[in-house]
Amino acid sequence: MKRSIIYMSGFTLFVTALLAGEYRPQGLMCNLLAKPESTVINDSLPQFGWIYIADRDNDFQTAYQILVASSLDSLKTDRGHVWDSQKTTSSQSINIAYAGPPLHANTTYFWKVRTWNSTDVASDYSAPQRFRTGEFGNKPVTDRYPLITRRISAKRFVQKKSSGHYFIDFGKAAFGTVEIQLGQITKPTSFIVHLGEKVADSTTIDRKPGGTIRYRKIPVQTLPGTTFLVITIPPDERNTGARAIKMPPEIGEVMPFRYCEIENSPVQLDKNAVTQIAVTYPFDEHAAFFECSDPVLNDVWDLCKYSIKATSFCGIYVDGDRERIPYEADAYINQLGHYGVDREYSMARYSHEYLIHHATWPTEWILHSVFMAWADYLYTGDKRSIQRYYDDLKGKTLLGLAREDGLISTKTGLVSQEILDAIHLQDTLRDIVDWPPGSFMFGGIGERDNYHMGAINTVVNAFYYRALVLMRRIAAALEKEEDAIFFENRAAKVAAAINGKLFDARQGLYKDCEDSTHTSLHANMFPLAFDLVPPAKKADVIRFIKSRGMACSVYGAHYLLEALYNAGEDEYALDLMTARHDRSWPHMLYQVGSTITLEAWDIKYKKNLDWNHAWGAAPANIIPRHLIGVQPLEPGFSVMQIKPQIGHLTFARAKVPTIRGPVKVLVQQDRTSYKLEVAIPGNSIAHIYLPSLNATGKATIDGVEHTAEILDGYAVFRNIGSGKHSFVMRKISANFD
């Protein structure tokens, strides 16, 4: 426990530093952007938000005052000559719409805010934030940042083989190019630059890496007087086609690479002469943190967190470098991962709204648009997107494909042009279940666990059910009561049909489709993930799921882990995330050697795989949402759940970003006790779940004994207020401290 005690001390100091800081609003956002000065705001009615900083535990905001001015000098005098909201009685600290005189286009403004606490004491004003308006068009546009570049120095530099031949390792793969400092070239010269993701040996880039693992040989010519050179990346025909996302002209073409070789260099080079120019969306490295007692899981977290950052190079979620095309399922996993590693919401919203009108062919992917819409609202508390695209989202539920019992199919002649138009699909709908099929593998059967692709598909209908559940919530949030009732009733009808017609009572399992008795991992993990499995049937379903191992793709792994954590199978879920076989994240790191998550577990499982797919980074969301257990229960994190499920770990600590501020969690456990420390941001409350180690439900909260509600094996303490709190539960109910 020595290491855990050290971490407890560090955590306490960390939290104390936050709570002892300035008691004025921090983390200002304009239209969900933490740095609006980096871009333009194209909304004539932007929304403002901040992190409420309390001066005591269990405090909350009771009022605010926003000032907007066209000059910083005016704002410094605490005057908002453009808009002064006056003292406004409200606990709202996010998504507050501008309500002053019309803003001018192409104009710079400044704003700041102060708040009042629960005893009606005013804070100091926040530091000012600058934003600049753009053109106000009739069509709403989601504001986002321009891409940024970072300069990465060599981690390892080797002169090898012959004079003028260098090998450089930048430590991690990134999308970008290289800059070479040449000194002073006195005559025309030529040399060769090799860039790649994979090595053949410790000082040689693999020239034939296989699949879509990237390698480029780039001849370079220089003229007299050249002092430095940024290598121009030749465009790839596949990922610069009509449907691909193009790189901005000011950035230029990029490729993913970790390694560089330079042959026949005209000058002597050193470690500082070659720099990786990495392109990403703006990313806050310090917004999220995770560490635990298992070093393998720490490495998996680092891999997945970095993957979210590195694959943001297009400013929109794409499927990897091979195509650079957004897909709904990829984007959803990317979205949740991005929420888990950064307090950033604009890229997810932009990607989701792009996909509304650029739908892709898989049936389940269309339904993912509803998933993305709900996640956007749940994490931001901002209704604008679901209001704007509500009718489109109704189309994305695929209601028109339903037969009389409520189940849907793409194979019964119901896919009409009207339906395709409603979902904005310029293609034909096809069920996918998982990807890839066997044809993409070297002698394999694919990632579908030998799934029978019948007309009434269990996986498709499980997704359909979940989309209906989420549409009911969206309709209710928008006060569309009739629609909410309709979606609720339809979801109940579909659930009954799935459990009545797609569940094989003899086997005690869900079958792949109506006209088959075959049972697969997928036919069972998706119903479990989406809360379709009745309590009496869960034990058999869970037992079967655990018998199948990781018989799914990196995409399917997200839902497998969700299903396991939802069912309380955190020990097995942890085993899967730290497994050392070839269908695991440690395999990507330790055996394959990638620093970004792969498109598939290994090239043997997808012969054209790339090494830069964010859909393979499920632990970036699973760790904060399930292992640490921080999830919003109400939109915008006004109410959250903190329910750690750490399996056999002896400790885990994390900083989880939310729109209201970071949530900090430290868990320690041994054979006799369970200790949880949390720091909850202002203007939020949390329901805290501890494993029920004793029959009485007794635990201490901040040193005082309390009795919890016992629910499904957890001791639940509801409505815990903001600030730092400590919970201790022991296996023996006596001698509480």
In a domain, 568, yes or no: no
Indicate which CATH number applies to the domain containing 182: 2.60.120
In a domain, 101, yes or no: yes
The answer on 165 and 89 residing in a single domain is no
In angstroms, the Cα distances linking 305 to 82, 133, 260, 619, 634 are 41, 32, 24, 8, 25
What percentage of the chain's residues is helix, strand, coil (to nearest 5)? 30, 25, 45
Q: How far apart are CA 566 and CA 410, in angstroms?
A: 29
Of 287, 295, 296, nearest to 338 (Cα)?
287
Which residues lie across from 573 on neighbouring strands? none
Average pLDDT over residues 534-541: 98
Indicate which CATH number applies to the domain containing 96: 2.60.40.10
Tokens 């593998």, residue?
Answer: 441
Backbone angles phi, psi at 440, to 5 degrees: -95, 5
In angstroms, the Cα distances linking 349 to 38, 346, 380, 382, 390 are 18, 5, 10, 11, 14
The answer on 529 and 402 residing in a single domain is yes
The answer on 390 and 509 residing in a single domain is yes
> Per-residue pLDDT tens for 436-449?
998 887 777 899 99
349 Cβ neighbours under 8 A, 6+ residues apart: 32, 142, 376, 380, 385
Q: How far apart are CA 392 and CA 156, in angstroms?
A: 51
pLDDT band at 21 (very low <50, low <70, confident <90, very high): very low
Tell me the percentage of the chain whose pLDDT exceeds 70: 96
The answer on 84 and 182 residing in a single domain is no
Q: What is the pLDDT of residue 552?
A: 98
Q: How far apart are CA 16 and CA 523, in angstroms?
A: 48
> Per-residue pLDDT tens for 488-536?
999 999 999 999 999 999 999 999 999 999 999 999 999 999 999 999 9
Of 328, 345, 333, 337, nearest to 304 (Cα)?
337
223 Cβ neighbours under 8 A, 6+ residues apart: 185, 188
| Domain hosting residue 383, numbered range | 359-548
Last residue of a domain, one of 132, 156, 181: 132
Provide the 10 A C-beta neighbour count for residue 545.
22
Q: What is the pLDDT of residue 83?
A: 98
- As a whole number of Å, the end-to-end CA separation of the chain is 18
127 Cβ neighbours under 8 A, 6+ residues apart: 26, 28, 112
Q: What is the pLDDT of residue 185?
A: 86
The answer on 405 and 269 residing in a single domain is no
The answer on 99 and 25 residing in a single domain is yes
Indicate which CATH number applies to the domain containing 526: 1.50.10.10
> Per-residue pLDDT tens for 601-618?
999 999 999 999 999 999
Backbone angles phi, psi at 361, to 5 degrees: -75, -30
pLDDT band at 8 (very low <50, low <70, confident <90, very high): very low
Indicate which CATH number applies to the domain containing 683: 2.60.420.10
- Which own/partner pairs from 162-165 qualify as long-range (CB within 8 Å, at least 24 positions apart)? 164/191, 164/262, 164/263, 164/264, 164/265, 164/266, 165/261, 165/262, 165/263, 165/264, 165/265
The answer on 123 and 64 residing in a single domain is yes
The answer on 115 and 157 residing in a single domain is no
357 Cβ neighbours under 8 A, 6+ residues apart: 392, 424
The answer on 518 and 387 residing in a single domain is yes
> Per-residue pLDDT tens for 32-90?
999 999 999 999 999 999 999 988 899 999 999 999 999 999 999 999 999 999 999 99
Q: How far apart are CA 697 and CA 166, in angstroms?
A: 65
The answer on 478 and 373 residing in a single domain is yes
In a domain, 308, yes or no: no
In a domain, 620, yes or no: no
Last residue of a domain, one of 105, 132, 159: 132
The answer on 189 and 276 residing in a single domain is yes
Amino acid identity of 540?
A: D
Token pair for 353: 């709204």
Specify the number of domains making up the chain.
4
| 673 Rama sector, left if φ>0, alpha if ψ -120 to 50, beta otherwise | beta
The answer on 126 and 182 residing in a single domain is no
